Amino acid sequence: MFWCEADPYDLADLAAATAFVLAAEPEARLDLVLLDAHPEVANFWGLNQLSLSQLADCFVTRAAISPAERESLARAWEALRSGALACRDLGQQSLALPFLADALTRLGEEAIHQDGLGLTERRIVAATAIPMSARDLHLAIQREEHRPWLGDTMVFAMIDELALRLDAPIVVASPGAVRSGGEALVEAA
């Protein structure tokens, strides 16, 4: 049984987990609850917003992952293992599992461009035109996502990595975004 949100992170995890389970037991029945919204939650972005009774109601909607969806997840896993460009290319195709093509397309946007940055890194750099805390920076770039998917610690690590580059496009006040818990000031270099 898998529980997933419709964001790129969860769907990448679903592809990996499905590949792992099916490698061990190819005929395993796999059930899925896949949510991109909930009628009782405005601005739904995650399962942790749901009450226990709302989660129980979602469990009733679970469905077996079909052979076509298994194939789509297997193709997604191969693309994920091959890199962002393979994800982008597969995301342009029709896939049996809802939201999977969109997720792969978004992950494909993390491919390094001529400026040496992926989409999230470019958004981080652009947002630092106005100095702000790493926490506020995380929230600012999440608002630009169709389906928010990067947790704060992941974004803080990206911020710190950008600040450590030889030709760093941003500056992070010591002790850094990760170690400060998001309180560190981040600004353009």
Mean pLDDT score, 47-69: 94
* pLDDT value for 156: 97
Tokens coding 179: 């170690």
pLDDT digits (tens, 9 = 90+) for 123-151: 999 999 999 999 999 999 999 999 889 99
Q: How far apart are the first and last CA of the chain?
A: 47
Q: Are strands 2-5 and 132-133 parallel, antiparallel or unpaired?
A: unpaired
Which helix (H) or strand (E) segment holds residue 5: the answer is strand 2-5
Q: Is 14 in contact with 55 (CB distance < 8 Å)? A: no
* pLDDT value for 17: 97
Kindly report the pTM of this predicted structure.
0.90
Q: Residue 4 burial (CB < 10 Å; 0-12/13-18/19+)?
A: buried
* pLDDT value for 14: 97
Go through the chain and tell me how many residues it has. 189
* pLDDT value for 96: 96
CA distance 64 to 73: 13
* pLDDT value for 46: 87
Query: Residue 177 above 90 pLDDT?
Result: yes
pLDDT digits (tens, 9 = 90+) for 72-93: 999 999 999 999 999 999 999 9
Mean pLDDT score, 169-174: 94
* pLDDT value for 32: 96
Mean pLDDT score, 61-75: 96
* pLDDT value for 45: 84
pLDDT band at 174 (very low <50, low <70, confident <90, very high): confident
Mean pLDDT score, 14-19: 97
Write the DSSP symbol of residue 65: P
Secondary structure percentages of the chain, helix, strand, coil, to 5: 50, 10, 40
